[in-house]
Amino acid sequence: MADHLDTTTLSQRAFESTRRRVAALSADDLDRESVCEGWDVRAILAHLVGGNIRFAQALRGEPADWPTRDDEVITDALRQFDETAAIMQDAVAGIADPNRPTLLQAGEPSAFFAVGVHGADMLVHGWDIAMSTGQAPTLDPSLCAAALWVLEQYPESFWGPGQFFATKVSTSSDDPQTRLLALAGRTR
């Protein structure tokens, strides 16, 4: 990852990017249909809040109930996002061995890599929120390049219907944001 941000920086800056989008939401925005098929904006937030909690548990070496990740009840989006982001950031700061295996829903990578997976997920879903609510969807190119590096490490068997990640969309673009979103199955 020498040419890209380290995963801790990716995670922190992805939080900041997505937090701006969450802070701009109105109560009415939560029930808007999202660009994620079958999810409204509230469901994306439940996924992010649940992800903060479960990634933090995994990074601390605790069992994480991954199948319930999306079950968080969102009643105060920004407060819940901030509170769980702080939990995740504390877990990242507490990593003693960045090479320690960390049990995720999609494999058992090093803690260093797990933090990057979380950052990539946070960044892409921040874009989803922006697109779903009419906010500016532009992402920082250095964050996109770092997230691409992380997600491109996963084998082909992890992508597609019924797998951990969405079906990839083909693109010939050199733009990091376009490439990241295509890799994450976004067609817009």
Look at residues 48, 15, 42, 12 and name the one whose alpha carbon lies nearest to residue 29: 42
Assigned domain for 179 exists:
no
Residues 87-143 have pLDDT tens digits of 999 999 999 999 999 998 888 889 998 999 999 999 999 999 999 999 999 999 999
Say if pTM beats, i.e. exceeds, 0.85: yes
Distance CA 12, CA 130 (A): 18
Alpha carbon distance 71, 28 (integer Å): 20
Which pLDDT belongs to residue 130?
A: 97
Give how many domains the chain has, as a whole number: 1
Distance (Å, whole) CA 144 – CA 10: 9
CATH number, position 79:
1.20.120.450
Tell me which residue range forms the domain holding 129.
7-153
